[in-house]
Amino acid sequence: MRGHARLFGVGVGSEVKGRGALMASSNKETLRKVQEAWNQKRFDDLDQYFAPDFKANGNDPSGPPTLAAAKASNGVMNQIFSERRVEILDLLEDGDKVFMRNRATGKHTGESWMGAPADGKPYEIESWSMYRFRDGKIVESWGLNDGMRLMMQIGGQLPQRPVAAAASR
């Protein structure tokens, strides 16, 4: 990695060394505000933090890679999983990119998901995301979450694939 980027826990070290002095990282602060808006379901507030040409490179191929699709997906997940809260664990900034590690918690109280009935089981998973900034706005993101752990905690099932189809891949 370039420069002097370091991993900081939230609330422990929210500054980045630059030009001999400690300066607040505006991109990291932007991500904190974005996460707060997601947690408080203030989806309209998110527009100010994302560039109009934002592209989400996530693991959900079912929709377009836009902020609008991310808002819709988050809305659905909030209906399926109540008390959903995401806590930032670590932030790492290097140039125009910020890496974020999160912990998501909640309860499965909405509709059935991945074959698991909504029975109020709690869950706790981690997710990892990388954000690219331009002029203080998020222009691109990549993300993964521990979906397998979530399925195991709530009793979900993997989709069935025929053996022949799986072997031909």
> Does residue 69 form part of some domain?
yes
Higher pLDDT, 99 or 16: 99
pLDDT of residue 20 exceeding 80, the answer is no
Q: Residue 23: CB partners within 8 Å, gap ≥ 6?
A: 15, 16
d(CA 144, CA 87) in angstroms, rounded, equals 15
pLDDT at 51 over 50: yes
In a domain, 109, yes or no: yes
Apex CA 24: angle with CA 86 and CA 17, to 5°?
Answer: 110
The residue segments making up the domain with residue 133 are 17-158
Q: Is residue 151 part of a domain?
A: yes
When divided into structural domains, the chain yields a total of 1
Structure tokens at 124: 């706790």
Q: Which of 86, 77, 88, 94 is nearest to 17 (CA)?
A: 94
> Is 9 contained in some domain?
no
What is the model's pTM?
Answer: 0.76
Residue 129 domain-assigned (yes or no):
yes
In the prediction, which pLDDT does 28 show?
Answer: 95
In a domain, 126, yes or no: yes
Query: Is the residue at 4 inside a domain?
Result: no
Taking 80 as the threshold, does the pLDDT of residue 157 lie above it?
A: yes
Instruction: Detail the DSSP E strand segments found in 5-162.
Output: 7-9, 15-18, 21-24, 50-57, 81-94, 97-108, 122-134, 137-145
In a domain, 67, yes or no: yes
CATH value at residue 89: 3.10.450.50
